Amino acid sequence: MSKSRKLHQLITEQEQSDEKKKKRHDEDGDGYTPHIRLENFPGGPEIFEMVVKVCYGVKVNLSASTAVLLRCAAEELEMTEEYSPDNLILKTENFLSHSVLSNTQETIAALKACESVSSLAESIGITKQCIDSIVSVASSSADPLLFGWPMNNRDSTKKKNKGSTLEVLSEDLLELSFPIFKRVVQAMKAKGLSDNIVETSLIRYAKKHIPLITSRSSSSSTIASKNQQRELLETIISYLPIHNSSATSTTRSLFGLLRSAIILNTSEKCRTVLEKKIGSHLEKATLDDLLIPSYSYLNETLYDIDLVERLIRHFLENAAVSLSSTSLTVVGKLIDGALCEIASDANLKPERFYILALTIEGCTHAAQNERLPLRAVVKVLFLEQLQLRTLVTAVTEEDGGETAGEAKVYFGVWEEVLKENQVLRLDMDAMRTRLYHLESEYLNLKEVIAKIDKERLYVANASPRKWSISNKFGCKFKTQVCDSHESKMVDGRCQRR
């Protein structure tokens, strides 16, 4: 009662209200002890016992988590300096400032302890202090010296220490509940930390708590149901930076998020955000990343071809703004590799196949493939023409980036491919004419066969005498012969005459 204003007030009020009970107990000879109840006490009975020990001078061992709970308990009991000097609020605040907030791991442990007393820890500012300390360490560790600038030995040692601090910080943050972790990410963005740090932290948190991403269950994850995983994944994706990181590992991780988003059936907006981020740097993807199985029963193909088309569309939209011939070449080779994998799928239609051809080599191979329909060949050649025009435009609009010799090489390639294109077009015209004649001959042949069938039916229904006479005179019906190069037909009736 000498240290806590609240306990003094509660016990005094209790004694005044139970005066009659006290007199009765005194008459009976047994003492009276007032009882009070503290509902939802921060930390429960264990922390209240530690408060009592501190009040009576008993030594207690403090940690980051117990210090947070003791600070909240002291606030709840109103153990201020105004009420009693050298009180518990001041003691716990000093311990937090000097022993907890100065250490990264201890700060995260204290922040984790704030989860059980979130409202009280928030009101007295412990949560904000811990978050600010974490973000300050992260911003100081993300020094430009860490990313490839020249350094002396002293700076190199400094880099190693900072890098290990940032790595430990990232690992420990994964243990936080998502509401607290989300606030840390928001503070990182407000502090101006790089998108790479923010994006990496979000992706690592998703891998830790969503087993589908890594195809293995995490024992420390508290998120069990698919609905919880879906809500968490949608929230994480909504917090991803708009501009994608340049790291290849991040692109691979984004594909992992996309697979999980498809399986968990997240919103279309959520998947579109991921597809745009992946498509903007599709040249950093691998063939294994691109070939995502069809998880929907609506898709007949083995792999999700619609997804591949959307990723290519997003890539081309980004390429239209900043055209890079190297990126186009890499993505073209990537799509060619994907075509080799999906070509054996019996449910894949030819129209879907040639749409995915980006490269000149792929278009030329498709144009010379005799098994493709004629209409498909025409569209492939048309696409090849568009690519040639884009190539010429890119060369003519280069302002100082290309030498005259390189420009000549570009135009030499263009002229060579154009000649091949013209030869293919002539072959296609000849094939179209040939096909027309074949169709005409087929129709005429069909009519003749129908007439022959009628004559045979008439002879079969005639008398045996007529049939023997026909055999005697040696009436024969010869099969018609059609020439694929000439529109001539030999009529069986002429042979009989």
Lowest mean pLDDT among 222-236, 255-269, 458-472, 477-491: 477-491
Query: Is residue 243 helix, strand or coil?
Result: coil
Report which of 434, 435, 395, 439 is spatially closest to residue 413, judged by C-alpha positions. Answer: 395
- Give the residue, 372 or 311, on which the prediction is more confident: 311
The DSSP secondary structure of 160-192, one letter per residue, reads: HHHHHHHHHHHHHHTTS-HHHHHHHHHHHHHHT
Per-residue confidence (pLDDT) for residue 231, from 0 to 100: 92
| Residue 116 pLDDT class (50, 70, 90 cuts) | very high
Per-residue confidence (pLDDT) for residue 98, from 0 to 100: 94
| Integer CA distances (angstroms), 48 to 1, 39, 44, 85, in order | 14, 12, 7, 20
Residue/partner pairs of 286-291 with CB below 8 Å, 24 or more apart: 286/252, 286/334, 287/334, 287/337, 287/338, 287/341, 289/251, 289/252, 289/255, 290/255, 290/334, 290/338, 291/338, 291/341, 291/342
Per-residue confidence (pLDDT) for residue 343, from 0 to 100: 80
pLDDT tens track for 248-304: 668 888 999 999 999 999 999 999 999 999 988 888 999 999 989 888 777 778 888
Region 196-201: mean pLDDT is 85
| Residue 333 pLDDT class (50, 70, 90 cuts) | confident
Per-residue confidence (pLDDT) for residue 154, from 0 to 100: 39
Region 451-460: mean pLDDT is 77
Region 113-118: mean pLDDT is 94
| Residue 64 pLDDT class (50, 70, 90 cuts) | very high
pLDDT tens track for 6-54: 999 998 888 777 776 666 666 555 666 778 889 899 999 999 999 999 9
- Give the residue, 174 or 244, on which the prediction is more confident: 174
Region 188-214: mean pLDDT is 87
| Integer CA distances (angstroms), 276 to 307, 317, 354, 457, in order | 11, 10, 23, 69
Phi, psi of 293 (to 5 degrees): -60, 155
Per-residue confidence (pLDDT) for residue 377, from 0 to 100: 60
pLDDT tens track for 415-445: 666 666 667 767 777 777 788 788 888 888 8
Per-residue confidence (pLDDT) for residue 23, from 0 to 100: 67
- In this structure, the chain runs to a length of 497
* Cα 203 from Cα 257, distance rounded (Å): 8
| Residue 468 pLDDT class (50, 70, 90 cuts) | very low
Does the structure show a pLDDT above 80 at 472? no
- Give the residue, 34 or 345, on which the prediction is more confident: 345
Report which of 224, 161, 228, 166 is spatially closest to residue 198, judged by C-alpha positions. Answer: 166
Region 144-171: mean pLDDT is 46
* Cα 128 from Cα 113, distance rounded (Å): 13
Per-residue confidence (pLDDT) for residue 415, from 0 to 100: 60
Report which of 298, 226, 302 is spatially closest to residue 266, judged by C-alpha positions. Answer: 226
| Residue 403 pLDDT class (50, 70, 90 cuts) | very low
Does the structure show a pLDDT above 80 at 407? no
Region 448-463: mean pLDDT is 76
* Cα 190 from Cα 310, distance rounded (Å): 33
Region 90-111: mean pLDDT is 94
Does the structure show a pLDDT above 70 at 454? yes
* Cα 328 from Cα 201, distance rounded (Å): 30
Region 340-364: mean pLDDT is 73
Does the structure show a pLDDT above 50 at 399? no
* Cα 388 from Cα 138, distance rounded (Å): 49
Phi, psi of 220 (to 5 degrees): -85, -5
pLDDT tens track for 206-239: 999 998 887 654 545 556 688 889 999 999 999 9
Q: What dihedral angle (degrees, nearest 10) is formed by the CA atoms of 115, 120, 123, 127?
A: -30
For residue 116, the 8-state DSSP code is G
* Cα 139 from Cα 231, distance rounded (Å): 29
Report which of 217, 311, 329, 212 is spatially closest to residue 262, judged by C-alpha positions. Answer: 212
Per-residue confidence (pLDDT) for residue 225, from 0 to 100: 82
Contact 117, 72 (CB under 8 A): yes
Contacts of 312 (CB under 8 A, 6+ apart): 279, 282, 331, 335, 356, 358
Lowest mean pLDDT among 58-62, 123-127, 235-239, 445-449: 445-449
Does the structure show a pLDDT above 70 at 463? no
Report which of 127, 106, 131 is spatially closest to residue 188, judged by C-alpha positions. Answer: 131
* Cα 119 from Cα 72, distance rounded (Å): 10
Does the structure show a pLDDT above 90 at 363? no
* Cα 366 from Cα 191, distance rounded (Å): 53
Region 178-194: mean pLDDT is 90
- Give the residue, 81 or 461, on which the prediction is more confident: 81
For residue 147, the 8-state DSSP code is G
| Residue 122 pLDDT class (50, 70, 90 cuts) | very high
Per-residue confidence (pLDDT) for residue 453, from 0 to 100: 81
Per-residue confidence (pLDDT) for residue 148, from 0 to 100: 31
pLDDT tens track for 260-276: 999 999 999 999 999 99
Residue 471: count other Cβ atoms within 10 Å of its Cβ.
Answer: 10
Q: What dihedral angle (degrees, nearest 10) is formed by the CA atoms of 114, 116, 118, 124?
A: -60
* Cα 12 from Cα 1, distance rounded (Å): 10
